[in-house]
Chain A
Amino acid sequence: GAVVSQHPSWVICKSGTSVKIECRSLDFQATTMFWYRQFPKQSLMLMATSNEGSKATYEQGVEKDKFLINHASLTLSTLTVTSAHPEDSSFYICSASFAGGTDTQYFGPGTRLTVL
């Protein structure tokens, strides 16, 4: 199956700093990538949908100026958490899908963000 990687797998940062998380599709071209956030013992909540070359579409309640998404190529999307605060500590997971197919989304392994 298709492989999606995320980097870093975990990060610890100080409050007020910015953190960038990368999501890569390793063996396919992904026209659409999705970013999810998962708090402990909870489900995955979609944050935004990212299409290559265009602006991301954010879900209601997700601040686009705080969670910057860039999908500059068909194999890479980045999520930058700006001015991170402890309440942003969470498990961030991306997924990627093939262009125009009925194939499913493939999920990355997740990035654990801890803001001190």
Chain B
Amino acid sequence: GQQLNQSPQSMFIQEGEDVSMNCTSSSIFNTWLWYKQDPGEGPVLLIALYKAGELTSNGRLTAQFGITRKDSFLNISASIPSDVGIYFCAGQPSKSSGDKLTFGTGTRLAVRP
């Protein structure tokens, strides 16, 4: 099945540093979502984006819906140890929650205290 290209694949950073990751697609999506997954658990929604160009924050997290609707970015400011995990982007063709998601390849984040 299709997957979105996500980069970087992994990051190992110092606590307090900012983190940036992005997700690109060859096709257009009308909804972009960012999830975090801890080991052995299901993904948890961090931010949902519904409009091209939209910039949305959730605490230290900020995500943007690319103008072309083919990409999205997630930034984490002032990282802390509990930010460790795998971050996935996901695209949805429409705004309907009944539409299927296509997931990115994931970015594995490690934070050094």
Interface residues of A (CB under 8 A from B): 4, 6, 31-32, 34, 42-46, 49, 51, 59-61, 91, 93, 95, 97-110, 112
* B42: chain A residues within 8 A (beta carbon): 4, 6, 93, 95, 107-110
How many residues of chain B are within 8 Å of chain A by beta carbon?
24
Closest to A51 in B: B98
Q: Which of A34, A49, A95, A102 contacts B96 (CB 8 A)?
A: A102
Number of A-B pairs, beta carbon distance below 8 Å: 66
Query: Are B95 and A102 interface neighbours, CB within 8 A?
Result: yes
Measured CB to CB, the closest approach of chain A to B43, in angstroms, equals 5
A60 to B2, CA, bound (A): 10
User: Of A44, A51, A105, which is within 8 A of B97 by CB?
Assistant: A105
Of the listed stretches B14-22, B64-72, B73-81, B101-109, name the one at the interface; the rest are far from the partner chain.
B101-109
Q: Is the CB of B3 within 8 A of A104?
A: no
| Residue from the list A45, A105, A107 in contact with B1, Cβ < 8 A | A45
